[in-house]
Structure 1
Amino acid sequence: MTLRLPCLVTAALLGLGMLGPGTALAAPDDTVEVEADRLDLDQRAGTAVYRGNVHIRQGKMRLRGARVEIQRNDAGELSRATAYGQRAWLRHQPDGQPQPIEGEARRIIYHVAERRVELIDQAELNQGGDHFTGGRLEYLIDREVVQARSDVEGSDKQRIHMTLEPEE
């Protein structure tokens, strides 16, 4: 199932790409704040793993999870951010939009080069009265497209459900 949703603004999920210097998506004056109980950093591998009630904030973006893994490419740029938890969560208030976009899932992955966000396993995506649930929700940022599927590897089928509020 593929839906074009102009109300889901590109900036909403860009926030996941704004996790550090070297990413073209970050606003230069937006400080990144990370709170966690533990950090394991491997400079050679280009990974950072935050554990224990992880909260990441930058500008209007919020990302939370029990564990968040950040991976960088050979150039030191963010290549992927993955949040895990019983309910990993993201929120962003897009400029010019009255309602924030919020997403929850057991796993949230932002693929920087592809400019794509995946919400996997018991996934939910909300903006205002519009609500999407399913096993896997993908948001293609540049195209403003949501793809929803009921199949999640290793899990029971989680059927897709969508509720759209009429525009005023």
Structure 2
Amino acid sequence: MTIVSRFAAAAALALLLIGGMAHAQGASVAFGGLKHDASLPVEITADELTVDQTTGSAVFSGNVVAGQGEMRLSASRVQVQYATENGEATGRIDQLIATGSVTLVNGAEAAEAEKAVYSVDAANIVMTGNVILTQGVNALSGEKLTVDLNTGSGRMSGRVRTIFRTGGN
């Protein structure tokens, strides 16, 4: 079952059980499962790789999966931006920019979006465009999700929507 269909099923069930919704402009949430060691090596697999030495970037396309420790980021396309010092590429990854059916999974938590930017040195991920976050049986949606991987804290913004289960089975 996909994350989207799990969210839809959970939403429908919760609507039947409690008959109400909570809406907000922004919400801080705990991302204990998304706490992560950004110093680990990044492994990327894809159907195709294009490298541009002049811009210091590489583009992976087709069934892209980027892994770092337990964290997995999958997308149709991932552009790798390399860090530079004094105008020279260092070979160290600065950012991963993922587009097209982006899914981020770490432990029991998963998020889907249209785009994700993972800033490796800053150890944060910003996901934008129809973001859906699932944490176990709970789901939260909005337009932007920002996660600090060092602390496991995050913020969902842009017409946040969730459904709270108030008890019972």
Tell me the TM-score normalised to structure 1 length.
Answer: 0.69
**Unpaired segments of 5 or more residues in structure 1?**
18-24, 94-99, 151-158
**Which residue matches 1:10?**
35
Q: Percent identity?
A: 23
How far the C-alpha of 1:111 sits from its partner, in A, is 1.2
**Which residue matches 1:131?**
139
Higher helix share: 2
Matches within 5 A, 1:34-113: 34-36=45-47, 38-74=48-84, 75-85=90-100, 87-93=101-107, 100-113=108-121
**Unpaired segments of 5 or more residues in structure 2?**
1-25, 85-89
Judged with a 3 Å threshold, the aligned counterparts in structure 2 of structure 1 residues 72 and 121 are, in CA distance, closer, same or farther, namely same
CA root-mean-square deviation: 2.4
Runs of 4+ in 1 over 6 A off after TM superposition: none
Judged with a 3 Å threshold, the aligned counterparts in structure 2 of structure 1 residues 133 and 115 are, in CA distance, closer, same or farther, namely same
Amino acid at match of 2:160: I
Taking the aligned partners of 1:6 and 1:54, their CA distance within structure 2 comes to 24
**Which residue matches 2:130?**
122
Amino acid at match of 1:34: T
Judged with a 3 Å threshold, the aligned counterparts in structure 2 of structure 1 residues 6 and 111 are, in CA distance, closer, same or farther, namely closer
How far the C-alpha of 1:124 sits from its partner, in A, is 1.4
Q: 8 Å contact 2:29–2:156 — kept in the other structure?
A: no
**Which residue matches 2:43?**
32
How far the C-alpha of 1:146 sits from its partner, in A, is 1.6
Matches within 5 A, 1:135-150: 135-150=143-158
For residue 113 of structure 1, give the secondary structure of its aligned residue in structure 2: coil
Judged with a 3 Å threshold, the aligned counterparts in structure 2 of structure 1 residues 53 and 113 are, in CA distance, closer, same or farther, namely same
Q: 8 Å contact 2:64–2:74 — kept in the other structure?
A: yes
Taking the aligned partners of 1:107 and 1:144, their CA distance within structure 2 comes to 20
Higher strand share: 2
Q: 8 Å contact 1:115–1:141 — kept in the other structure?
A: yes
Residues paired across the two proteins, number: 136
Amino acid at match of 1:5: A
Tell me the TM-score normalised to structure 2 length.
Answer: 0.69
Judged with a 3 Å threshold, the aligned counterparts in structure 2 of structure 1 residues 73 and 115 are, in CA distance, closer, same or farther, namely same
Larger radius of gyration: 2
Q: 8 Å contact 1:129–1:165 — kept in the other structure?
A: no
